[in-house]
Amino acid sequence: MFIAGFPAGPWGTNCYVVSTGPGNECVVVDPGKDAASGVDQVVRENRLKPVAVLVTHGHIDHMWCVAPVAGSYEATAWIHPRDRHLLTDPMAGMSRESTQMLLGGSYEWAEPDDVRELSDEQTLEIAGLSFVVDHTPGHTEGSVTFRTPYGESAGSADVSEVMFSGDLLFAGSIGRTDLPGGDHPTMLRSLTSKVLPLADDIVVLPGHGEQTSIGRERATNPYLRELIDQGDSARVTRGL
């Protein structure tokens, strides 16, 4: 497996290009502001053909270049229906700080020509890869993560899957929930139901910052530790 990741734009949003190897079709995950040139460089250097753009959620720092990238390569854009409206009205999901950063500019937003909607526990078979979609609301109503097998097929028996976590889970932290569409209790439920059951060896490629693993976050992330402690207390209370 080939994965190239790079931070782009003023928010330092991680964009990823994923394929089975050089010379093949590929998938682009979260092309944010200023990501198009980075995608083009990775594609040219590795003779790739983008066939899909996967969007973890509809915030502008993750989908600024979805339409340009999808349009340049005639690729299909995939987004959860609860965030689809943000493709054409990204201001609806922005903070005051982000809005102020864009004041004075002239921006037009439009959906890519080919947009398809994601659903919870859906499996996408694209570019020779298989992605499991988990709906993980909390940061936005339509936030999702994508998990794809890694393991021996990629030359590593120590990693079973790679998860593109968007702004659900970071190294040592979780996504903010104070923006439009965010909700902290919902975020905690997503972490409890969609993250805590996962295997420790899964590598997490987040929307911002360094990569981590489920095992590392289970052991050190204060938000996950609190959820684990609450679960242990609940089981003791029930006499389990």
Q: Residues with Cβ < 8 Å from 132, sequence gap 6 or more?
A: 121, 122, 123, 146, 147, 148
- Domain assignment of residue 212, given as a range: 2-237
pLDDT at 119: 97
pLDDT at 236: 43
pTM here? 0.91
Residue 59, both tokens = 């915030």
Percent of the chain with pLDDT over 90: 80
CATH number at 110 reads 3.60.15.10
pLDDT at 151: 61
Tens of pLDDT, residues 85-122: 999 988 787 766 666 666 556 677 889 999 999 999 99
Going from the C-alpha of 183 to that of each of 35, 105, 142, the distances in angstroms are 28, 30, 12
Measured torsion, CA atoms of residues 93, 96, 97, 102, in degrees rounded to the nearest 10:
70
pLDDT at 152: 56
Q: Which residues of the chain have pLDDT under 70?
A: 95-106, 151-157, 232-240
Per the structure, how many domains does the chain have?
1
